Structure 1
């Protein structure tokens, strides 16, 4: 079996092996009962570690393509229809495929009741009745609103209110004329990538990183360089080293309760990144989706954008996480020619975000409702964080994690002997899901991780789900 590894690819080696074997199964080149090469043989042929091959085979087993007989080998499992009449019409599409193996939305496509995989809020913590009532009032007052496009830049009233909000809550002065409303922070990331990047350009990201941001860059043919974090955020000294050898166009960071680790970037580190951006002339995407969710009344540093004097930082403030995921509202702040470029790209992308959803959150931002809502959110999520840590306390000799000071997530280091995908498969059997750490790395990680989002479930289901997960981990260690 000839497996070809592309070392220049951002897809980890074990995933490349997995994909090529699956293609052979679907193409009828290997069939039910065929044996795959031994771990040692495959490792020697490809000049990689046995651990990487083992991970590929375990992933194939997790997906049901093979079964492993200890001491004997790895064999193709099950009957698969490989007739040309079924597969031939769409075979050509594999040549156009984007990287979806790592996507958190593919990994946990089938929803589980005890869902720890999504960093979104339990619906009853959101102001849904108020917002739905406001939308109905808007339609009753202006039934023609649905018959027109919203402004490309976004509703002017909303931009004015968000400008006030950023000054009050983030210590960030932003002219409403320099705000662009997007359909969530995710669209903002994609919009920036589409505007500023071309295949072969270099982007620096945190490692680990928000997986959907990685996918945006990878699937546009961008050279993505991961830089590790410490307790203060992405390491500025390593960013400097990368800049000396490359010419990055962008640095993507999530400084306020980083997704997935929960790290809060220090003010010193924020200033260091600005200095590097000024010296090497690159943009910084500052993704701020969790900045309001802090615990124990800690004092947050000002956003990186606060220290930006020359338009190096494109700031993204998402409201979906804290206000209403279904409304898909975020604001992008940028100055200089790049704002006009982003505006033009937004016009081509969707001709403007829906107007009714923008109008719906205006009353919330204009009153004390937002302040009261955020205070209640912080209390509710701190209780959930504490309950999660308490539930996992009996596993501290197995699992390792830092207690986050805010945000929605707990980032957990697993024993290297524990495969996160195999653990997820066992968890799924008892209706539990989480996010394997693989989704958050550009390349294959040396260690195994998992992300638990404690924000999605109610108090009771959170405890029950964590008890189930704890039992699975205990049994997995036996």
Structure 2
């Protein structure tokens, strides 16, 4: 019995063997009562261990597809196959999958009224009307823009304004030719992964980490190593230990008001990361999605990219959070041959990001509107943060809060007796959603956490929803 095993897949080999034999039974290729190969013969045919073969047969027996006669062999029990095929008609598709399907967004697919799961800003705090008016002006002037592909690199006018913005607000002296416009930071992360990584490469991430970034790396078969954060960000001493034992291809960090914890990486730690990249020869993906959303006059240091002189840092600047999620515009900054590689992969991805939205944000960046908008947005979000902290503090002694100095999220540690997924089920019954902390870890975390995003709801719904959530947590903990 020989067939192709996907050895790079995260699906265990014994499960792949199980699935194949079930298919053979269901399509009639293996008849009721037919004897299957011995453990040793199956192991030799598929180049697997006898233990793997034994686990596959044991699982088939447990599910009722075969029966084992000690000393004689393994035999097909085929009468059950028809009902199983009717109950699960799409099961055959699993045998074709070579990737892990991991996504933090699968957890909260059903939208709840009190939605604390999305790190998205309340629509009325964003310049949606201005952007809508600008898009209408563009369409009135030139409807053919809808029939035009944007350039692969991004609109030239927008890249010019982006370069000015990065110079004025981040201290990054860059040329528009080194910028690539992407459809949000998420596409930028995926673009870097597609360009630089292959299955089996080692990538270092923070622990906890932005869950959607973990999804990108895991689903590409990458070997992920997570390093804990302290109050200054990812520990550079722990990173160096990893570099001495492994050879990471890149590390991914979210240094300015980290998602999900809100941690602000110190300037010293940022410089140390660049020094380690130079010493051990790895890339750094710097995700700067929240740098402008700071509170309590706590200004973030220069980006990690500011300290990079030799092209080790690939900098991603997102505008979806602060301007409009539906615009999906971000800038990727890179120098050297890697920029050409990224350009080529971007061309194969989408040929170019939508031109209409790129043109629409130009007036916003060219005037004082962006500066004024960010000032008002910070005030509104700080009020929401304070509201969230005040309400959740009623659970002091039961939960532990990490008060962020920026960003959109509140990271909450739960008692060991309160499991986040079971808590989420109870919260859903009250029309409440949040992000379980397990979505932000490579492996199952030692302790229980949840992430509350205080940015999406109105002031009134934020207050009511959090009060209801406190009741759910309190009742759950009794």
Instruction: Report the TM-score when normalising by structure 1.
Output: 0.83
Question: More displaced, 166-175 or 375-384?
Answer: 166-175
User: What is the CA–CA distance in structure 2 between the aligned matches of 1:90 and 1:191, rounded to whole Å?
Assistant: 31
Q: State how 1:93-172 maps to structure 2 within 5 Å.
A: 93=94, 95-96=96-97, 98-100=99-101, 103-172=103-172
Q: State how 1:4-153 maps to structure 2 within 5 Å.
A: 83-93=84-94, 95-96=96-97, 98-100=99-101, 103-153=103-153
- State the partner residue of 2:335: 335
User: What is the CA–CA distance in structure 2 between the aligned matches of 1:224 and 1:393, rounded to whole Å?
Assistant: 35
- State the partner residue of 2:455: 455
Secondary structure of 1:225's aligned partner: strand
- 1:267/1:301 contact within 8 Å kept: yes
- 2:101/2:219 contact within 8 Å kept: no
User: What is the CA–CA distance in structure 1 between the aligned matches of 2:9 and 2:119, rounded to whole Å?
Assistant: 28
- 1:10/1:442 contact within 8 Å kept: no
- State the partner residue of 1:229: 229
1:281 aligns with 2:281: yes
Per-residue CA deviations over 1:37-85 (Å, capped at 9, x if unaligned) read xxxxxxxxxxxxxxxxxxxxxxxxxxxxxxxxxxxxxxxxxxxx95313
- State the partner residue of 1:31: none
Shift of residue 95, structure 1, vs aligned partner: 4.7
Q: State how 1:421-460 maps to structure 2 within 5 Å.
A: 421-460=421-460
Shift of residue 306, structure 1, vs aligned partner: 0.1
Runs (4+) off by over 3 Å: 8-11, 97-101
Per-residue CA deviations over 1:382-405 (Å, capped at 9, x if unaligned) read 000000000011111011122100
Shift of residue 286, structure 1, vs aligned partner: 0.1
- State the partner residue of 2:301: 301
Secondary structure of 2:88's aligned partner: helix
- State the partner residue of 2:70: none
Shift of residue 322, structure 1, vs aligned partner: 0.6
Q: State how 1:358-369 maps to structure 2 within 5 Å.
A: 358-369=358-369
Q: State how 1:123-272 maps to structure 2 within 5 Å.
A: 123-272=123-272
- 1:100/1:106 contact within 8 Å kept: no
From the CA coordinates, give the structure whose radius of gyration is larger: 2
Shift of residue 93, structure 1, vs aligned partner: 2.7
Are residues 229 and 394 of structure 1, via their aligned partners in 2, closer, same or farther at CA, if it must alter by over 3 Å?
same
| Unaligned stretches of 5+ residues in structure 2 | 1-7, 24-81
- 2:183/2:353 contact within 8 Å kept: yes
Per-residue CA deviations over 1:194-238 (Å, capped at 9, x if unaligned) read 000011100000000001100100111110100110000000001
Shift of residue 364, structure 1, vs aligned partner: 0.3
Per-residue CA deviations over 1:389-440 (Å, capped at 9, x if unaligned) read 0001111101112210000001111111110001000000000000000100
1:417 aligns with 2:417: yes
- 1:10/1:443 contact within 8 Å kept: no
- State the partner residue of 2:470: 470
User: What is the CA–CA distance in structure 2 between the aligned matches of 1:213 and 1:350, rounded to whole Å?
Assistant: 20
Shift of residue 90, structure 1, vs aligned partner: 4.2
- 1:10/1:224 contact within 8 Å kept: no
Per-residue CA deviations over 1:246-282 (Å, capped at 9, x if unaligned) read 1111100000000000000000000000000000000
Secondary structure of 2:206's aligned partner: strand
- 1:10/1:218 contact within 8 Å kept: no
User: What is the CA–CA distance in structure 2 between the aligned matches of 1:10 and 1:442, rounded to whole Å?
Assistant: 14
- 2:9/2:99 contact within 8 Å kept: no
What value does the CA root-mean-square deviation take over the aligned residues?
2.1
| Unaligned stretches of 5+ residues in structure 1 | 1-7, 28-80
Shift of residue 152, structure 1, vs aligned partner: 0.5
- State the partner residue of 2:43: none
Are residues 10 and 306 of structure 1, via their aligned partners in 2, closer, same or farther at CA, if it must alter by over 3 Å?
farther
- 2:99/2:221 contact within 8 Å kept: no
Q: State how 1:387-426 maps to structure 2 within 5 Å.
A: 387-426=387-426
Secondary structure of 2:172's aligned partner: coil
User: What is the CA–CA distance in structure 2 between the aligned matches of 1:132 and 1:335, rounded to whole Å?
Assistant: 34
Instruction: Report the TM-score when normalising by structure 2.
Output: 0.83
- 2:250/2:285 contact within 8 Å kept: yes
Secondary structure of 1:393's aligned partner: helix
